[in-house]
Amino acid sequence: MAIFSRSGVRLGNLIKKTSRLCYVSQHTAVNAPQYVTAGCEEPTGPILRTSIPGPESQKLTQELDQIQNAGSVQFFVDYAKSQGNYITDVDGNVLLDLFTQIASIPIGYNHPNLLQVMSQPENLSTFINRPALAVFPPKDWVRHLKNALLSVAPPGMHQVQTMACGACSIEHGQKAMFITHQRKKRGGLPPTQEELTSCLYNKEPGCPDLTVLSFSGAFHGRTMGALGITHSKWIHKLDFPTPDWPMATFPKLKYPLHENERENMEIENRSLDEVRERIEEYNKRGRPVVGCCIEPIQAEGGDNFASPRFFQELQKICKENEVVLLMDEVQTGCGSTGKFWAHEHFDLPEAPDIVAFSKKMLTGGFYYKEDLRPKEAFRIFNTWVGDSSKVLLLEAVINTIKKYNLLDNVKETGQYLQNGLHEMEKKFPHCVSNVRGLGTFCSVDFPDAAFRDGVIMKLRNRGVHAGACGDRSMRFRPTLIFQKHHADIFFDAFEKTLQESSQ
C-alpha cells in the first residue's frame, strides 16, 4: 500500500533522496513549498483559521461532556491531517506542537516510517489479535524485544518487562523491589505456609509492611501504588487513601546555576540528609524502606533538575541501605534530553536498579538488573503485559532515531532553544526566569500561574502549542525531529506575546 500525504500525494514520489535532516521540497500538487524533516513532510508554518478552541472543537467538547466530564479537553484534533511537528485541529488550525500529547509523540505525527509499518500485510495480525504476551507470545516477540527495547537499553541493563502504561510500569517495578527484598530476607528458603495464607487476607507476614521512599513534587502515576509516591498536585491526590510512605524534599535549585553553586550544593545536601533520615526512621519503626523512586528530572512537578552529584550520592545511599533505586524515565526517556535516557547525564558508577518508561516509548515497561528478576513465574504478570503492536511501532521509531541521528539533532536544537530562551530572559527579566533544560527538555518560569496560563493561551492563538507544568512553569516537549527553524517560529510568537504581556 502506498503512503499518502494529507493532500493525497504519494510521499514515495515526493521525498527527494538526501542525507540532510531537513530540506525544502517543492510540493507540486498544492504548488506550495513544504519542509521535509527527518523524512517527514511538514507545512512551512502554523495556519490560523479560528481562535482556539474553534467552533467545531467547542461543539464536540459539549457532546463529549454528555458522556464524561470533558473539562480537561483543550481542543479536538484531526490526526490524519497532522504532520511532523504540526498538529491540526478540527477547525483547520495548524499549530506548531511543543507539547506533543503530554510528551508522548517521538518522531512527529504520521511519520512515513510508522505508516510503513501499517502497510506491511504481515504486520496487520499484530494489531488485531492482542496476545497474552507472557503466556502465548507471538513468534517474532523475542526479535522485536531485542530490536526495539534491548537495542536502547540503559548501559548495563539486559532485562526488560513490557507493561501497558507508565503507572503500571511503576507499580510492577515496586513489586520487583518487594519480591527481591523478601527473597533476600528469606535467605533462599521458600515462603512459609503462614505467609502463603496470610497474604490472601492482606495480613502480615505474607503482606509485609514495606515502604518506598519518594520526593516532594514527584509524579509517578495515578494508581494507588504509583500515587503513594506522587506529591505534585492536589488534583491527583485529594480524597484517595494512600500508603503512609516516607517522603524527602526534592532539591529546588536556584538559577542561573553557575551563580548559585555553593547554595545549590547545600540545598542538595539537605535533601540527601533527609533521605538518610527517612530511611533510618522508617527502618526503626519496623516499616523498612526497600525502594526509592525518583525522576531524573521532575516533569509534572515543575521541571525540577538536580545535579549529577546529587544522583550519584543518592545511588550511594541506596546501595548502603540495600534500597532499590528506581529511575522513572516515563517522561524523560527516549532521547529528548539529548541522550536516550536522562540518567545517562549523571555518570552513575553503575546503572540504576530499575528504569521505567512509557510515553514516547509507545509501550510502557521497565528495565531491571538481574538481581531484581523474580525467580517464580507469574509474579510480574497480567493478561496483556503490554501490547506487541506498540513494540512493533517502537522498532520503527528507534530505527528512525538512529537513521537520522536524532539524538545529535536534539542536542543541537536544544542548545539553540536554550540560548534563545536565555536571550528572552535578558530581554524580559520581569516575565521570564529560571531558564533550564537538557536537550529540548527545557522550561522557563513566569511570575505566577495566571501569567503563565495567559502566555500559553496567547502563544496558541499565534500558532504555537505549549504545555504547563508545576505552579508557574512552561515546559517544552517537542518531538525529536524538532529543528532550529521550528524554534524560530516559537521565538517569534514568544517575543510578540511577551511584549504584549509585559506592557
Q: Which of residues 82-111 bind a copy of itself (CB under 8 A)?
A: 82, 87, 90, 101-102, 104-105, 109-111
Would you name the residues annotated as active-site residues? 219, 328, 359, 383
| Residue list 165-204, contact with a copy of itself (CB under 8 A) | 165-168, 171-172, 174-175, 178-179, 181-182, 191, 195-197, 199-203
According to CB under 8 A, which one of 128, 188, 189, 262 is a site residue for a copy of itself?
128
Selected range binding a copy of itself among 144-152, 260-268, 418-426, 433-441, rule: CB under 8 A: 144-152
Written as nine digits, the cell of 118 is 501499517
Strand runs labelled E in 250-323? 289-294, 297-298, 304-305
9 binds a copy of itself (CB under 8 A): no
78 binds a copy of itself (CB under 8 A): yes
According to CB under 8 A, which one of 48, 115, 265, 317 is a site residue for a copy of itself?
115
Listed residue (307, 357, 315) closest to 336, CA to CA:
357
Selected range binding a copy of itself among 160-168, 270-278, 343-351, 448-456, rule: CB under 8 A: 160-168
Shortest distance, CB of residue 272 to a copy of itself, whole angstroms? 20
Question: In this complex, which beta carbon is closest to a copy of itself, that of residue 208 or of residue 463?
Answer: 208
How far is 119 from 121, CA to CA, in rounded Å? Answer: 6
457 binds a copy of itself (CB under 8 A): no
Q: Residue 357 belongs to what H/E stretch?
A: strand 354-357
Selected range binding a copy of itself among 232-240, 305-313, 412-420, 438-446, rule: CB under 8 A: 232-240
Selected range binding a copy of itself among 10-18, 21-29, 42-50, 219-227, rule: CB under 8 A: 219-227
Q: How far is CA 130 from CA 133, 358, 387, in A?
A: 8, 19, 7
Shortest distance, CB of residue 312 to a copy of itself, whole angstroms? 27
Residues 6+ away with beta carbon under 8 Å from 477: 98, 99, 100, 102, 103, 331, 336, 440, 441, 467
| Residue list 388-417, contact with a copy of itself (CB under 8 A) | 389, 393
Query: Looking at residue 270, what DSSP letter applies?
Result: H
Written as nine digits, the cell of 488 is 524560530
Query: Looking at residue 350, what DSSP letter applies?
Result: S
Dihedral (C-alpha) 42, 45, 49, 50: value to the nearest 10 degrees? 110
Shortest distance, CB of residue 318 to a copy of itself, whole angstroms? 19
Three-class SS state of 62: helix
Shortest distance, CB of residue 336 to a copy of itself, whole angstroms? 15
Shortest distance, CB of residue 482 to a copy of itself, whole angstroms? 16
Give me the half-sphere count of Cα atoms (radius 13 Å) on the Cβ side of residue 70: 15
According to CB under 8 A, which one of 31, 72, 258, 284 is a site residue for a copy of itself?
72
376 binds a copy of itself (CB under 8 A): yes
366 has which bridge partners?
161, 356
10 binds a copy of itself (CB under 8 A): no
| Residue list 240-299, contact with a copy of itself (CB under 8 A) | 240-245, 247
Cα 398 → chain centroid: 16
Residues 6+ away with beta carbon under 8 Å from 121: none
Question: In this complex, which beta carbon is closest to a copy of itself, that of residue 192 or of residue 312?
Answer: 192
Asked if 79 contacts 31 with a C-beta cutoff of 8 angstroms, the reply is no
| Residue list 347-366, contact with a copy of itself (CB under 8 A) | 358-359, 362
326 has which bridge partners?
293, 354
According to CB under 8 A, which one of 39, 54, 173, 206 is a site residue for a copy of itself?
206
Q: Looking only at Cα atoms, what is the longest distance across the chain?
A: 76
221 binds a copy of itself (CB under 8 A): yes
